[in-house]
């Protein structure tokens, strides 16, 4: 029989069905593992203590309540500054960059197939130094902790360049004060990382509900299912268009394409 102009043998249809069944079964197993991973990851957040005010948070700290999700204002106790940007920060990174000339060999081929090479010059800003600084501690909902234990993301702040100098300073930082949801372990009045984590997770400008929605999202599972279905379809199509002569006792596998009607 022909499907879209491609001759398909009955045995190819049978083997294609087997391919779908086998890959479908493998996908089912992987899908279960992916979904289980998502559920387990979200469970830690779903079961965490979620205080609604500072008093509940402090009570949880005094009673060592454990894993906690809390939204509040995080502020540097002893903020840091740099001469290369205005303001104070919880953490800073200043990259010193130099405008540097580089060379590379470029090879081109003309219409006659002749090749030629020439040296090309180009300029880039290259990092030649890096300086980091951070506040020793931070405050959050009535407690204080070591900034070194916070997992915070640096953001671009400013670039400091004097005139046409070939040196510039690019500043990245974390604001001195901002609202965030922290996922932490309250033990003996202290804010500690959860489980084997080395850092307290910080979700800047994100509410507790939004953090939970993100952790419970099934987007990863759905994406996997879509990609796996596409993979199965591609595997079947490739098998069908192959010239599977081995099914008739031959050893050659070529590819067949839709026939063009009316061709010589």
Name the range with the highest mean pLDDT among 5-19, 188-202, 233-247. Answer: 188-202
Q: Which residues contact 71 (CB under 8 A, 6 or more apart)?
A: 179, 180, 181, 207, 208
In angstroms, rounded to a whole number, what is the distance separating the alpha carbons of residues 130 and 235? 49
Q: Band of the pLDDT at 50, cuts 50, 70, 90? A: very high
The pLDDT value recorded for residue 264 is: 44
Residue 176 CB contacts under 8 Å (≥ 6 apart), including other chains: 75, 76, 79, 87, 88, 89, 90
State mean pLDDT over 38-66. Answer: 94
pLDDT given for residue 113 in this prediction: 85
pLDDT at res. 110: 87
């Amino acid at each position: 029989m022909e499907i879209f102009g491609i001759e398909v043998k009955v045995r190819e249809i049978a083997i294609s069905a087997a391919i779908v069944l086998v890959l479908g079964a493998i996908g089912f197993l992987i899908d279960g593992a992916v979904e289980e991973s998502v559920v387990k990851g979200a469970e830690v957040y779903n079961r965490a203590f979620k205080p609604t005010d500072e008093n509940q948070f402090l009570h949880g700290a005094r009673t060592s309540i454990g894993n906690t999700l809390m939204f509040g204002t995080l502020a540097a106790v002893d903020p840091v500054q740099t001469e290369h940007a205005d303001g104070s920060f919880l953490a800073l990174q200043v990259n010193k960059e130099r405008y540097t000339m580089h060379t590379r060999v470029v090879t081109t081929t003309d219409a006659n197939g002749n090749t030629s090479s020439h040296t090309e010059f180009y300029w880039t800003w290259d990092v030649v130094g890096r300086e980091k600084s951070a506040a020793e501690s931070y405050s959050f909902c009535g407690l204080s902790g070591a900034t070194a234990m916070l997992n915070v993301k640096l953001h671009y702040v400013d670039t400091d360049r004097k005139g046409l100098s070939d040196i510039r300073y690019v500043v990245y930082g974390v604001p001195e004060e901002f609202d965030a949801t922290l996922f932490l372990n309250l033990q003996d009045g202290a804010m500690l990382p959860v489980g084997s984590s080395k850092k307290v997770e910080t979700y800047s400008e994100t509410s507790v509900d939004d953090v939970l929605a993100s952790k419970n999202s099934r987007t990863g599972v759905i994406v996997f299912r879509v990609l796996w279905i596409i993979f199965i379809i591609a595997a079947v199509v490739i098998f069908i268009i192959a010239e599977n002569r081995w099914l008739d006792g031959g050893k050659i596998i070529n590819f067949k394409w839709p026939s063009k009607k009316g061709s010589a």
